[in-house]
């Protein structure tokens, strides 16, 4: 640059070296960031930049593969929760925020950051074998049973055979990268609430009885068209988990529907 002094040129060179290769995605952290070098530039991993993960900031991520719900389905489930709140013992259930309700396909737990791209690839391969499908959300149940309720859920029906195929394809792909398959049969459901810890048996019995009596009254809740699946990060906070989409795989409209 004309008019630049040697000192200015040297300063620009040092800054360029500090920032690294300008062709790589970069993020500058705010000075208030509680990291090792506030205000520094961090280079995003080329493999993980599509997921928005900063290389080197975390070695593992708590993740799961899921189907996210439409706004209409979330609204319908919120109405179901309001119905249940009116009849269950007060303060007995911690209700899931409607925007956090999802249909889990696989819970992966803490995974190494460098496995995210492999998981994304196998998700895309599994999704390519399945065409978009429709589910009906409805009914009411609890795990493990109404005598010892821990999880309050609503179920799914409709084109469940495609959902199960998708789950199987993901299971096979996950095994190839070192994940141990679940030993329990896959039971698709949507968690609408979790029973609070430490409830006396009297309240647990009362809650179970109310849920059992309410079950026949809960029919169709919402319809859900499934066109894609997501890799999600779960960040556990004191106020509840925060979910972030890391990757998406679209289902294949031309996939053979024969199972």
Say which of 106, 167, 189, 230 is annotated catalytic. 189
CA–CA dist 54, 57 (Å, integer):
6
Q: What's CA 229's distance to the chain center, in Å?
A: 10
Say which of 102, 106, 167, 230 is annotated catalytic. 102
Quick check: 105 and 179 in contact, CB under 8 A?
A: no
Residue 250's DSSP bridge partners are 228
User: How is residue 144 written in tokens?
Assistant: 């493990």
Q: How sure is the predictor about 8, in pLDDT bands with cuts at 50, 70 and 90?
A: low
Q: How sure is the predictor about 140, in pLDDT bands with cuts at 50, 70 and 90?
A: very high
What pLDDT score does 181 carry?
80
**Is there a catalytic annotation at residue 106?**
no
Looking at 51-101, which runs of residues are DSSP E strands? 60-68, 93-95
CA–CA dist 252, 34 (Å, integer):
43
Q: What is the pTM of this model?
A: 0.77
pLDDT at 19 over 80: no
pLDDT at 46 over 90: no
Average pLDDT for the chain: 84
pLDDT digits (tens, 9 = 90+) for 206-245: 999 999 999 999 999 999 999 999 999 999 888 888 999 9
**Is there a catalytic annotation at residue 230?**
no
Lateral strand order in the sheet of 151-158? 93-95, 189-195, 151-158, 133-143, 220-226
Q: How sure is the predictor about 183, in pLDDT bands with cuts at 50, 70 and 90?
A: confident
pLDDT at 43 over 90: no
Closest alpha carbon to 168 in 188, 151, 153, 154:
188
Give the chain's domains with CATH numbers.
1-43 (no CATH), 58-250 (3.90.1140.10)
Helix (H, G, I), strand (E, B) or coil at 196: coil
């Amino acid at each position: 640059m004309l008019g630049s002094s040697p000192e200015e040129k040297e300063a620009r060179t040092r800054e360029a070296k500090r920032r690294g290769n300008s062709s790589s995605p970069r993020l500058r952290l705010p000075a208030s960031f509680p990291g090792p070098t506030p205000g520094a530039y961090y280079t995003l991993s080329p493999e993980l930049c599509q997921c928005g993960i900063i290389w080197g900031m975390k070695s593992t991520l708590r993740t799961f593969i899921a189907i996210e719900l439409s706004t209409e389905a979330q609204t319908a489930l919120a109405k179901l929760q309001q119905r249940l709140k009116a009849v269950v013992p007060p303060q007995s259930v911690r209700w899931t925020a409607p925007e956090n309700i999802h249909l889990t396909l696989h819970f992966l737990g803490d995974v190494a950051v460098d496995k995210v791209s492999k998981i994304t690839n196998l998700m895309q391969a599994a999704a390519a074998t399945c065409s978009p499908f429709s589910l009906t959300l409805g009914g009411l149940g609890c795990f493990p049973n109404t005598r010892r309720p821990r999880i309050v859920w609503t179920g799914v029906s409709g084109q469940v055979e495609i959902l199960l195929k998708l789950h199987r394809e993901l299971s096979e792909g996950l095994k190839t990268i070192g994940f141990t398959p679940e030993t329990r049969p896959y039971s698709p459901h949507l968690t609408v609430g979790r029973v609070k810890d430490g409830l006396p048996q009297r309240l647990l019995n009362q809650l179970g009885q109310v849920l059992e009596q309410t079950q026949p009254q809960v029919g169709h809740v919402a319809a859900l068209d499934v066109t894609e699946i997501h890799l999600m990060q779960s960040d556990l906070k004191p106020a509840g988990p925060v979910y972030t989409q890391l990757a998406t795989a679209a289902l294949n409209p031309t996939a053979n529907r024969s199972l």
